[in-house]
Structure 1
Amino acid sequence: MAADISRTAIPGVLIFDPARIPDERGVFYEGIRTEDVEAAGEAPFRPHQINYSVSRRNTLRGVHSVTVPPGQAKLVTCVRGAVRDIVVDLRIGSPTFGEHHVTSLDEASGRSVYVPPGVGHGFLSLADDTCICYVLSTAHVQGTQVDVDPLDPELALPWGFTERPLMSEKDARANGVAEAAAAGLLPLWEETR
């Protein structure tokens, strides 16, 4: 039941499209095998925490990352609803620093995005009651979250909303990518390899 694994232009970011087995009861599929992440050339991925978020339509969450150390890889899956998922390379010195990749995640596809340490993540909810599952390589450590303004004109992320999205106050007042880099919040490419 191997998943179809695609690489993106951003080093380390992987897309998993699971093999789905439908029958009269519904459908079954594997979310991920950690050895698939490792076989794709990434660091060992051992889950230490699982989080969920539930969002209204037009909710924008992110762009979030974690300082290095401790660093944090995550596997993001939409288990209900649909999102426009965006990852942004925040690793200073990376050949794709500041670049992004957009993926459509929804409950029907079972598709997941693997986000390596140092890469920022965010999404725009496209349906009410959308639920996202985050499988994390490290447990949350207070004070290590890095928030980058998801509307930073320097990043110009293609969220595609037609009305101002609902955002947390924390995300709305987050630093732009240049300010986050100047403040020493972003990791060096070498630290994440």
Structure 2
Amino acid sequence: MTIEQTPLEGCYLIKPAVFNDDRGYFFESYNQEKFDNLLGNNIRFVQDNQSYSVKGTLRGLHFQKGEHAQAKLVRVVKGEVLDVAVDMRPGSVTFGQHFSALLTESNQLQMFVPRGFAHGFVVLSDEAIFFYKCDNFYNKASEGGLHYADPTLNIDWKLPHDELVVSEKDKVLPYFEGTEAFF
């Protein structure tokens, strides 16, 4: 397992060691001890989530605030997504910046998104299965989000906006301006 610091403070790409042979492949997708050693801190995941989505589905940008903030370790089991993290931590040197990475079933990349970040993804393949671990339990009263088409963030979702499949809830999320108080 190797780790690469993204341009966002505390956000990492993680590449597992994949063992291929004529039967297919094997890899360890998560190992607490190795993960702690790579990150240099002690994250304990308490909840696993999985979603299935079709091409163009955009989920995000979501976060949990306050004592219910969540760090996430995300990966794609099937398909291809553009995964996006936005630093929402006032005082962070990368506050208000975003990073995106292509996560696919073939590259096996994972992204670690720390607490205090908004997170989302868009499906670029015909379908995708997206899996993620959270270090805190979901709390409906603490959920928040940012509008996917926020002009301040100017995220390139790699698909035209008229091809995006977005929930009604996500279409009315607030813009980045004024969200500093969330964290």
Q: Does the residue aligned with 1:104 lie in a helix, a strand or coil?
A: strand
Shift, 1:177, TM fit? 1.0
Shift, 1:62, TM fit? 0.6
In the other structure, the counterpart of 2:127 is 129
**Structure number having the greater strand percentage:** 2
Instruction: Output one character per residue of 1:59-113: Cα deviation in whole Å (capped at 9) or x when no partner.
Output: 1111111102122111000000000111110111211111111111001121100
| Matched ranges for 1:103-122 at <5 A | 103-122=101-120
In the other structure, the counterpart of 1:101 is 99
**Larger displacement relative to structure 2 (34-43 or 101-110):** 34-43
**2:99 and 2:32 mapped to 1: Cα distance?**
22
Task: Rate the CA distance shift 1:88–1:42 in 2: closer, same or farther, 3 A.
Answer: farther
Is the CA contact 1:154–1:177 (under 8 Å) kept in the aligned structure 2?
yes
Q: What is the one-letter code of the residue matched to 2:178? A: E
Q: Does the residue aligned with 2:140 lie in a helix, a strand or coil?
A: coil
Q: Does the residue aligned with 1:32 lie in a helix, a strand or coil?
A: coil
In the other structure, the counterpart of 2:142 is 144
In the other structure, the counterpart of 1:180 is 179
**2:88 and 2:142 mapped to 1: Cα distance?**
15
**Larger displacement relative to structure 2 (38-47 or 170-179):** 38-47
In the other structure, the counterpart of 2:15 is 17
Q: What is the one-letter code of the residue matched to 2:89? A: R
Shift, 1:41, TM fit? 4.0
Gaps of 5+ in 1: 188-193
**1:12 and 1:36 mapped to 2: Cα distance?**
17
**2:77 and 2:106 mapped to 1: Cα distance?**
8
TM-score of the two chains, using structure 1 as the length reference: 0.89
Q: Does the residue aligned with 1:155 lie in a helix, a strand or coil?
A: coil
Is the CA contact 1:68–1:117 (under 8 Å) kept in the aligned structure 2?
no
2:60 paired residue among 59, 62, 80: 62
Gaps of 5+ in 2: none
Runs (4+) of structure 1 moved beyond 4 Å?
none
- Identical amino acids, percent of aligned pairs: 32
Task: Rate the CA distance shift 1:36–1:178 in 2: closer, same or farther, 3 A.
Answer: farther
Q: Does the residue aligned with 2:166 lie in a helix, a strand or coil?
A: coil
TM-score of the two chains, using structure 2 as the length reference: 0.94
Is the CA contact 2:82–2:123 (under 8 Å) kept in the aligned structure 1?
yes
Is the CA contact 2:81–2:124 (under 8 Å) kept in the aligned structure 1?
yes
| Matched ranges for 1:6-45 at <5 A | 6-45=4-43
**1:178 and 1:35 mapped to 2: Cα distance?**
39
In the other structure, the counterpart of 1:78 is 76
